[in-house]
Structure 1
Amino acid sequence: MQIKNIMIDQSLKELTQHRTVELPVACYETTINHNIHGYIPLHWHDELQFVYIVRGEALFQINDEEMVIRQGEGLFINSGCLHMAEDWNDTRCTYICLNVSPQFVLPKELHASYVYPYIQATNVPYYFLNPNESFGKEILDAIVKINQCIQKKPPRYEIDISVMLTFIWRSIVSNTPQIENDQTENMSYQRIKRMLNWIHQHYTEKIRLEDIARVGQLSRSETCRYFKRMIKTSPLSYVIEYRIQQSLDLLRRPESNVTEVAYQVGFNSTSYFIDKFSKSMNMTPLAYKKNQLEQWTNSEGV
C-alpha cells in the first residue's frame, strides 16, 4: 500500500494510523516521489520506525543529521524524532516502512527496564542498518519477513510478527551499550518543535522573525542558528515552504483558483506565490492544478 499524503498535525506529529486494534504494527512499501509533496515532509510520531530501501537511494534527515541510504540498506528511527526523506539522484526510491508501537515490542512488565529508557535516550535517535554487518542484516531480514507476513497473512502470523519484533528490539538494546538522556539536547528539540508548532498555527498570518524568536525564547540570531542546524533552512524560508505545501491540497480542489489559494495560505501577493511555488515545485501552481485534475480524471476513468 502506498501512502501518498503523510498527514501531520500542527506540532508535526504524524496523524496516519500505523496500527489496528489487534496488531499495533503497520508495514507498507512507499515510493517517495509519489507522495503529494514529492517527498516525505518533516514529521515525528510515537511509533518506532524501521526502513528498508528496496530500490534507489534516499536522503534522510533525522533530527539535525542527514545521510544517504541506498538499496539494501536501512534505518531504525526512534520514537519522537523529527525526520523527513527525499529521493536522491532521481532514483524513484522505494522503501519498506515498518512502524511499531513501543508498547508492542516487549511485554509490559519489561518496559520500565528495556523500552522506556531507550525511546527516551538522546544518544539513540537512529541506527544505520548496514546489510554487511550482522546487526543490520538481521534486522533488515526481519523487516522483509514481517512485510511478507502482513501481505500474505499466513496462519498465526500475528504471533510470528510479535516474535520477530522481540528479536529486533533485543538487537537494538544489545547494540546500545550505554543510554544517555541529555536534558539540554532534549530541551533543544522540544524548543524547535514548539516554534514549528507556532508556525503551523499562524502560517496564514503575517509572520516575522521576531515572532518566531519570541516563541522559542531566543534572540533572532540564535533562532536562525537553531533552524539552520535542525531544519537545514532559515525560519522564514521554512514558513514559505510550509505555506507552499499547505497550498497543494487546496489546488487539487476543482473549485479553487490560484489567487484565492495564495491568500488562503498566507501570501499577500499572487505573483510572489507563483514565483516561490515554481521554484519549489518546478512548475507553476496552475500547471500543478491542471496536472492533478488530469490524474484524478484518469483514475476515475472519465
Structure 2
Amino acid sequence: MKRKIIVTDNLLEKKKYGDFTFPIDFDYNTLFAYEYGFLDYHWHYEMTFSVILEGSMEYRVNDKIYEMKKGDGLFINSHTLHTAKGYNNKDCAFLALMFRSNFIFGHEESIIKTKYIDIIENGGQCPSFFLDSKNKTHKKIMSLILEANDIFQEKKPCYELLVKSKVCEIWSLFFTEINSILQEKQFVNSNDVLRLSKILDFIHSNYKNKITLDDIAESCNISKSECCRFFKKATRQTPFEYLLNYRIKKSIPLLLSDKYNITEIAEKVGFSNASYYTEIFKRVMDLSPTKYKKEQLSKP
C-alpha cells in the first residue's frame, strides 16, 4: 500500500514520530513509496535530519530549493513547511531522523535548551540547512545519523541511551557549524508560514472549481500583486503554477484507477478540457498521461 501524508487544515502532518516517553524516530523511505511519487507540502513539530541514500531529489523548504544527490543531507526545523520530488520521474531513497527538541534538552529550565536549542528552533533564522557530502563536518553528522539509526533498529540493551548520545553529538556538531552564521541569514518568519498555509489550504479545498487570482488573494486578505510576490518567493512558483501542479497530482489516483477516461479525469480535477490536461500533465510529469499510466502499472 502506498504511503500518504495526511495533514490537518493547516498542513500539520498527523503522523506521530516516537512518543512522549521517547520522542524520536527514524523513517527510511523512497519517493515512489508515496501515493503521488513525491512528498506533498506539510510540517511537523519534530526537527528533521534527512540523508539521501540513493538517487536525487529537489527539496523545497519555504522559499529555498535544494538540489540533493546521494550523500547529501538536509536539516529541516520544526514548524517548517516542506515538500520534495525526484528528477525525471526517477525514485530516490532517503533516511529521516525525526525528534522533538526536548529529546535533547530534557526539561524547560535546562541550560541546554536556552543555550543550544532555542536560538535554532525558535530564533526564526534557520528553517533549513544543507549538509554537503563534500564537507567534512557535514559528512560526520550524516555518518552519526546512520549510526544512530542502526542502534535504534537493533534495539540492543541500553539502545535508548546510545541513541541519545549519538543525537547529542550530532546536535553539538550542527550547532557549532551554524552558530556563527545564524545572525547573517534572513528567513521567512512565522507569519509568512501562516499566510502560506492559508493560501495552500484554499487551493487544496477548491482545486476542482474555477479559481481566480482574486479568490486566492482574498483567502488571506492581501492584494493580487502581494499574493503573487509572496507566493513565488515562498514556493518558487506562481499561485497558478502551483494550482496546475496540484490538479495534476490529484488526477494521478484517478488515472491509475482505470475507472475514468482522460476527459472525465480532466473535468474532475478542474481542467477545462482533455487536451489542456494532457499538455499540463506532460509538462509536470515529463510523460503523457497514457505513458505515465503504462509505466506505473508495469512496476511491481
Q: Same fold (TM over 0.5)?
A: yes
Match of 2:248?
A: 244
Partner residue of 1:97?
A: 96
In structure 2, the gaps of 5 or more residues are: none
- SS of residue matched to 1:60: strand
Name 2:204's counterpart in structure 1. 200
- CA displacement, residues 103-150 of structure 1 (integer Å, 9 cap, x when unaligned): 323202337624445322221112222455554233212211122123
**What's the counterpart of residue 266 of structure 1?**
270
CA offset digits 1:248-302 (Å, max 9, x no partner):
223333544444433332234333223322322233434444554454xx5xxxx
Matched residue, 1:157: 159
Give the C-alpha shift of residue 77 in structure 1: 1.0
The one-letter code of the counterpart of 2:202 is W
Distance 1:149 1:249, change over 3 A: farther
1:1-302 equivalent positions in 2, closer than 5 A: 4-19=3-18, 23-33=22-32, 35-88=34-87, 92-109=91-108, 110=110, 113=114, 114-131=116-133, 133=135, 135-174=137-176, 175-177=178-180, 185-295=189-299
- What is the identity, as a one-letter code, of the residue corresponding to 1:120? N
The 1:68–1:275 alpha-carbon spacing in structure 2 relative to 1, beyond 3 Å, is: closer
Q: Distance in 1 between matches of 2:62 and 2:196?
A: 10
Q: Secondary structure at the match of 1:37?
A: coil
CA distance in 1, matches of 2:294, 2:135: 48
Q: Does the 8 A contact of 2:23 with 2:100 survive in 1? A: yes
Length-normalised TM-score, structure 1? 0.82
Partner letter of residue 193 of structure 1?
S
Deviation at 1:97, TM superposition (A): 1.5
* Partners of 1:265 and 1:153 in 2: CA distance: 46
Mean Cα displacement is larger for which, 69-78 or 223-232?
Answer: 69-78
- Give how far 1:159 is off: 2.3
Q: 2:23·2:103 contact (CA, 8 Å) conserved in 1?
A: yes
| More off after superposition, 48-57 vs 249-258 | 249-258
Q: Does structure 2 retain, via aligned residues, the 8 Å contact 1:11–1:200?
A: no
Shift of 1:17: 3.6
Change (3 A) 1:239 1:149: same
Instruction: Give the alignment's Cα RMSD to 1 decimal.
Output: 3.2
For residues 161-208 of structure 1, the C-alpha deviation after alignment (integer angstroms, 9 at most, x for no partner) is 122223323344444258679898332232122111111122222210
Structure 1 SS opposite 2:257: coil
TM normalised by structure 2 equals 0.82
Distance of 2:163 and 2:277 partners within structure 1: 48
Shift of 1:34: 5.1
Query: Retained in 2: the 8 A contact 1:244–1:277?
Result: yes
Supply the distance in 2 between the matched residues of 1:169 and 1:257 (Cα, whole angstroms).
Answer: 52
Distance 1:183 1:126 in 2: 9
Whether the 8 Å CA contact 2:74–2:130 is kept in 1: the answer is yes
Give yes or no for contact 1:58–1:86 (8 Å, CA) kept in 2.
yes
Please tell me the residue identity of whatever aligns with 2:179: T
> Take 1:272 and 1:88, find their aligned partners in 2: how far apart are those partners?
23
Higher mean Cα deviation, 157-166 or 256-265? 256-265
Flag structure 1 segments of 5+ consecutive residues without an equivalent: none
Change (3 A) 1:165 1:78: same
**2-side partners of 1:186 and 1:12: how far apart?**
14
2:94 counterpart SS class: strand
